[in-house]
Amino acid sequence: MAERMTPVEVRAPGGWQIGTVTSIKAETPRTKSFRIKLPMWIAHLPGQHYDVRLTDPDGYRAQRSYSVASSPLDEGGVELTIDRLEDGEVSPYFHDVVEVGDLVEVRGPFASYFVWRMEKPVLLLGGGSGVVPLMAILRHRRRTMPTLPMRLVYSVRSTEDVIYGDELDDDSLLTFTREAPESWKGHRGRIDRELIAAAGIEPGIAFICGSNGFVETVSQLLLAAGWEPRQVRTERFGPTG
């Protein structure tokens, strides 16, 4: 009985809780999505992140932050998409050890800058695994206001780097910077002025996520295309191993 009585204060965002992994999807050879059921779930804003904490038997701990990929309409849990970094400590654990049914310690959702609050029109620009928080925004829009003007421009190196490939639709523009599939008729090369113009989104709000170099280049392209700095939100990957 006592177990079922959750104290009110720990329902506030930010408390550590133990979630259960309910599904694992290999998105690419180095990226997996984990659905985690949470005992104290609250709706996140698309773009927010969770912290994950691992503890070994000696009490050693490692923490990292991961963006939520799911829409807040998926009640009771979150999807975290985790890129495997070879010399990392947390991401290899998720890739090599975690199975469905495992318990993982997490807390969130956090931060309210790189979040979508239904502003429009929306241009999403992602490089590599920088697409993850953008997918939360895109998925949420598809389920709540599918006609709201929003476009994802997504830059990847090659076919095997495409995360969420089966979900990319007319609202997404993909470009391959190194190697495109043979039959590919779409864009090639890095995001440039022409590709941004092809997205057909008037300055409204832009979310850019990727490596520092990617974010720097793309944000300068937007400024050159007439966007105001206050219309451009960025999230740069720090090392998250």
Tell me the window of 29-37, 110-118, 120-128, 150-158 that interacts with another protein (CB under 8 A).
Answer: 110-118
- Coil/strand/helix, residue 86: coil
Can you list the alpha helix ranges (DSSP code H) found in 115-211? 131-144, 193-199
What does the alpha-carbon distance between residue 8 and residue 11 come to, in Å, rounded to a whole number? 6
What does the alpha-carbon distance between residue 129 and residue 163 come to, in Å, rounded to a whole number? 7
| Among 20, 22, 40, 102, contact with another protein (rule: CB under 8 A) | 102
What does the alpha-carbon distance between residue 137 and residue 124 come to, in Å, rounded to a whole number? 9
Can you list the alpha helix ranges (DSSP code H) found in 99-181? 131-144
Tell me the window of 73-81, 147-155, 186-194, 217-225 that interacts with another protein (CB under 8 A).
Answer: 217-225
| Among 22, 53, 165, 204, contact with another protein (rule: CB under 8 A) | 53
Work out the number of other CB atoms within 10 angstroms of the CB of residue 8: 7
Tell me the window of 30-38, 105-113, 132-140, 191-199 that interacts with another protein (CB under 8 A).
Answer: 105-113
Site residue total, another protein (CB under 8 A) = 51
Q: Is cis: bond before 109, omega within 30 of 0?
A: yes
* Contact between 93 and another protein per CB under 8 A: yes
* Contact between 7 and another protein per CB under 8 A: no
* Contact between 84 and another protein per CB under 8 A: no
* Contact between 110 and another protein per CB under 8 A: yes
* Contact between 113 and another protein per CB under 8 A: yes
**Residue showing tokens 């949470």:** 38
Angle (CA) 114 39 32, round 5°? 55
Which residues are at the interface with another protein (CB under 8 A)?
12-16, 18, 51, 53-65, 88-89, 92-93, 97, 102-105, 110-114, 212, 216, 219-220, 222-223, 229-230, 232-234, 236-241
